[in-house]
Every structure is written in structure tokens, then in C-alpha cells.
Amino acid sequence: MNTLDIELVSVSKSFGAISVVKDLSLEIPQGEFVSILGPSGCGKTTTLNMIAGFNMPTSGDIRIRGRSQVKVPPERRNLGLVFQNYALFPHMTVSENVGFGLRMRGVAKSEIATAVSAALSSVRLEGFGERYPKALSGGQQQRVALARAIAPRPSVLLLDEPLSNLDLKLREAMRVELKEIHDQLGMTFVYVTHDQEEAMAMSNRVVVMWQGEIAQQGEPGEIYRKPATRFVADFIGRSNILSVHRARAQAGFLEIAIGGGPLVLRVTRPLSPERVQFCCIRPESIRLLPASPPSGDARNHLDGVVRRIVNLGAHAEVLVAIAAGLSLTALVRSSPASALPALGEAVTLAVEPQDIQLLAA
Ligand SMILES: Nc1ncnc2c1ncn2[C@@H]1O[C@H](COP(=O)(O)OP(=O)(O)OP(=O)(O)O)[C@@H](O)[C@H]1O
Ligand SMILES: [Mg+2]
């Protein structure tokens, strides 16, 4: 079994009367890449700051490798920190920046030189040691900040939106690099972000936060395929969320009524009928078929009319009205061009029973 690096045990944090983190419990095994993902203001930074020791929990305990940290100051927690504003010292060279923490601890010069060069090689900045920060690009500066955090070899690295100041291309490249650095160093990474793609791309585990609580946690693919709540379904990826008016258990499946009742879908995923309030269908799991004449046994076929097409390059989002006030978005490959329907065209949507996720609320 994996040993736990970090444990949050019923942690709450209030600022005055405002409760920001509510009874949050979380276990982070050694060596994992865990992302804390959620919308702005949900309490991610507050949670990270409590792990780092910059914020004291109002109640609950924070343990690092089994030992309560509540009375341990930040500098004694053996954690590395990387933030959005990487705040390099402008008057120090790259090497001096990276070695800063080690110098503060009084580590011997030769040892610092070895650690600095290992850290720079981890972030692929060999040969940049003598440069000053102003002579580096944003991405390179962020890598220096990363090298500075890993040089003392902390057991845990805490990262708070470290890529959000970089442009999209660089962010995507850095995602891959960060993951490689994690795999190479075997440190535990706790990564805070509001960018779900970033969290999905890098993490072993994603912890989705909402209003100071954990909405769901799990492996990225599982969270995407089986969102537990309406919030998670909506926040992670794109989805069609429909309210369910009636759910009836049948032999081996559930029959749900959507769109005020007339449209019925079969669902094979379990959730007791009384709890079903919504269902989620991912756009990529909806197939677009030529309009088919009504037939008694066409299961999970919905007829509609194309109302909008948004070209996204390789794919297009096709909005299809299936009833008054009810539309579904399907994701369709845009090549060959003949794969795309025309505006106003009558089409049939098909969805497999196992691709419909039922949600409680
Ligand atoms: N020192 C503080 N005093 C009062 N309120 C605070 C303090 N720090 C944070 N908050 C409030 O706590 C809530 C959560 O803040 P936090 O910084 O943890 O959010 P976040 O999830 O990191 O958001 P973002 O994605 O915007 O960085 C916010 O409503 C914020 O205004
Ligand atoms: Mg934050």
C-alpha cells in the first residue's frame, strides 16, 4: 500500500464569518500528482496555503507523513512552492536564484552547485545558469522558479496555477514537461488549477472543489465519464445536461423521460429512479444520422433540426433542436465536409444507453 504523504482531516477555514473551506478530508499518497480543480473562489489556494503553513485551519488537522503540522512553521515542512507569479530575484543569475533556498539553509557551496545543476537539468535549462531573469522568456522564467522549488529536494511540491501567465502553446508544452519532471523526480505534486484540461492532462487524481467542499475525486477519466453531480458534469468538459421528468425501472435498464415528458431514453447506468434528477450526455457520444422515418424499435433515437454549427477545426459542434425549448449539442468530425449537416436539415440523434450518465442533483 502507498504511504500517505499528506492528510487533511476534517479541515475547515473561516475568515471572520465567511466559511471558505468546509470539513474537507483528503488523503494524498506519496508520489502522486494530485490536482485540486475548481472555479475561482472555491477555496483552492486557501487549501494549499494550509498545507504550506501560510494559513492555519480554523479546525481539523493537517498531517505530513503522519505527523500533525498545525504547529510546524512553513519553512520546517520540507515543501517546495511554485506560484503563478514566479517572483525571481532580478539581480541574481539563474543559478543564484535556484540556489537561494539552499544558501539560506547554510548548505555547503559545492553541494549547492551540484543541486543547482541537477535542478536546471531537470527543467532543461542547462547552460542558462549565468543569465539574468530579464534575459529569459516567461516559460523559461517559470522553469527557473520550478528548479528553485525542487533544488532542495522537498518531498512535496505545491503548485498554485503556475502556468496561468503563459500563453496557450507554452502552457500545453509545460504541461507535458511538468508531468515528465514529476515522473522523473518521484515527488508528490499538489497542483491547484481552475483549468480542467490542465488537471486532466497531468494528474493521477483530480479533486474537484466547489464552494469549499470536495464535489468529487478520482482518476481523470473516471471523473469525465462518471461525473457524480450536476456541477461536476457541467464543470468538467462539455456536456448536455437535461432534466429528467420521470424515471422508471425496467428489466435491465432505466427508462427516463426528458423534455417535459414526450421523449424517452433508455439508460443502463445504475441510479435509483427516485434519485434521478438530471442526465448528462457528452457531445462526442451523440451520433448524427440522416433523418430516419419513425420506427417502433428505434431505441434512443431523437429527431430534430440543425439550428447552429460551430466549426472548431477538426470537429464541429452541431446544435440540434429536438423539442420546444430543448436542444442537444453533438460533436461531429468536420472531415470529410460531407460529414457535416446543413443548417435547417432534419437529422436523427442516436445515443447509446451506457453513454447517458444519471445525476442526482
Ligand atoms: N485572507 C482572506 N480574508 C478574507 N477572505 C479571504 C481571504 N483569503 C481568501 N478569502 C476568500 O476565500 C474564498 C476562497 O479563496 P481562494 O483564494 O482559496 O480561492 P481560489 O479557489 O484559489 O480561487 P482562484 O481560482 O480565483 O484563485 C474567496 O471568496 C476569497 O475571497
Ligand atoms: Mg487561487
* Candidate of 13, 45, 51 to mutate for ligand 1, largest count of ligand atoms within 8 Å of Cβ: 45
Q: Is 212 in the pocket of ligand 1 (CB under 6 A)?
A: no
Q: Is 46 in the pocket of ligand 1 (CB under 6 A)?
A: yes
- Going by C-alpha positions, the residue among 332, 283, 286 that lies closest to residue 309 is 332
User: Atom 30, ligand 1: which residue's CA is nearest?
Assistant: 41
Q: In CATH, what class is 4-230? A: alpha beta
Q: List for the chain the helix, strand, coil content (%; round to 5).
A: 30, 35, 35
323 neighbors 240 (Cβ within 8 angstroms): no
Q: Is 338 in the pocket of ligand 1 (CB under 6 A)?
A: no
319 neighbors 349 (Cβ within 8 angstroms): no
Which atom of ligand 1 is found nearest the CA of 192? 22
Q: Is 54 in the pocket of ligand 1 (CB under 6 A)?
A: no
Across the range 70-98, mean pLDDT stands at: 90
Q: Is 44 in the pocket of ligand 1 (CB under 6 A)?
A: yes
Q: How far is the CA of 114 from the centre of ligand 2 (A)?
A: 34
User: Atom 19, ligand 1: which residue's CA is nearest?
Assistant: 41
- Sequence-ordered list of residues with C-beta below 8 angstroms from that of 93, at least 6 positions apart, any chain: 129, 130, 131, 132
- Sequence-ordered list of residues with C-beta below 8 angstroms from that of 338, at least 6 positions apart, any chain: none
Residue 296 has a pLDDT of 55
pLDDT tens digits, residue range 259-293?
766 678 888 867 777 788 899 999 999 999 988 77
List, as ranges, residues with CB under 5 A of the ion ligand 2.
45
- Per-residue pLDDT at 297 exceeds 70: no
Q: Decide whether 4-230 matches 238-359 in CATH topology.
A: no
User: Atom 9, ligand 1: which residue's CA is nearest?
Assistant: 46
Q: Is 20 in the pocket of ligand 1 (CB under 6 A)?
A: yes
pLDDT, mean over the chain: 90
- Per-residue pLDDT at 355 exceeds 80: yes
Q: Is 147 in the pocket of ligand 1 (CB under 6 A)?
A: no
Across the range 167-183, mean pLDDT stands at: 88
Domain ranges of the chain: 4-230, 238-359
pLDDT tens digits, residue range 218-236?
999 999 988 989 999 999 9
Residue 105 has a pLDDT of 87
Domain topology for 238-359: OB fold (Dihydrolipoamide Acetyltransferase, E2P) (2.40.50)
The three grid cell numbers given for residue 290, joined into one nine-digit string: 440522416
